[in-house]
Amino acid sequence: MGASDTIKGVTRVDDGVDALAPVAPRQRFEDFYRREYPEARRLVWLLTHSDDTDGLVQEAFLAVWNAYPRLDQPGAYLRKAITNSCRQYHRTRATRQRRIRLLPPPVPAELGASEMHDLLADLPYRQRVAIAGRYWAGWSEAEIADALGCRPGTVKSLTSRALNRLRTQMETENDQH
């Protein structure tokens, strides 16, 4: 294919985006992407500590792009897509570890992760989402519940359990030093 070819009535250009798509929605998505990408990337890294953070963020934005014309709240859809992408990452990782019977890798201190990041990494996934969503991303309980697919009361419980666990781990760390 050349720089601009027509197949079945759709013109494709170098960037791979349909040239027949209306300019205004495409521009709105580009503005949305530029505005949301940095926070989305930080959140994915916080939830996964993955070397493939950019790939997971791109998967989430691709899901938003595919549904963008019919979305009233692309930010909420992005949060849900990020949560689903990170959940799938953890499921795949856990399955792979069970299959090849590897010990879970230690949290790499040489990457410059703070002690709090190390403690957050030890939390169960749903508790980590509740803490990161509430205290880092500033999400409401309803937004966290929507992202996790649970009720706001469950978010309160997850947050409470996570804070208690973090408090206990911090006290243990202080006692050891």
Whether residue 66 contacts residue 18, with contact meaning beta carbons closer than 8 Å, is answered with no
pLDDT in tens, 46-95: 999 888 899 999 999 999 999 998 999 999 999 999 999 999 998 888 77
Using CA atoms, how far apart are residues 92 and 65, in angstroms rounded to an integer? 24
Encoded tokens for 144: 């966290």
- Listed in sequence order, the residues at least 6 apart from 68 whose beta carbon sits closer than 8 Å to its beta carbon are 25, 29, 74
166, amino acid identity: L
pLDDT in tens, 28-50: 899 999 999 999 999 999 999 88
User: What pLDDT is recorded for position 82?
Assistant: 95
Q: Which of 30, 34, 36 is nearest to 17 (CA)?
A: 30
Using CA atoms, how far apart are residues 34 and 69, in angstroms rounded to an integer? 18
Whether residue 53 contacts residue 41, with contact meaning beta carbons closer than 8 Å, is answered with yes
Helix, strand and coil content of the chain, in percent to the nearest 5, comes to 70, 5, 25
Higher pLDDT, 148 or 97: 148
Span 84-107, average pLDDT: 72
Percent of the chain with pLDDT over 90: 50
Is the Cα dihedral 49, 84, 102, 169 positive or negative? Answer: positive
> Sorting pLDDT into bands at 50, 70 and 90, what band is 107?
very low
User: What pLDDT is recorded for position 1?
Assistant: 42
Q: Which helix (H) or strand (E) holds 11?
A: strand 10-13
How far apart are the two ends of the chain, measured CA to CA in Å? 63
Question: In the predicted model, what is the mean pLDDT of the chain?
Answer: 79
Domain architecture of the chain: domains with CATH: 1-105 (1.10.1740), 107-177 (1.10.10.10)
Query: DSSP string spanning 37-56?
Result: HHHHHHHHHHHH--TTHHHH
Higher pLDDT, 105 or 31: 31
On the question of pLDDT at 21 being above 80, the answer is: no
On the question of pLDDT at 111 being above 70, the answer is: no
Q: Which helix (H) or strand (E) holds 7?
A: strand 4-7
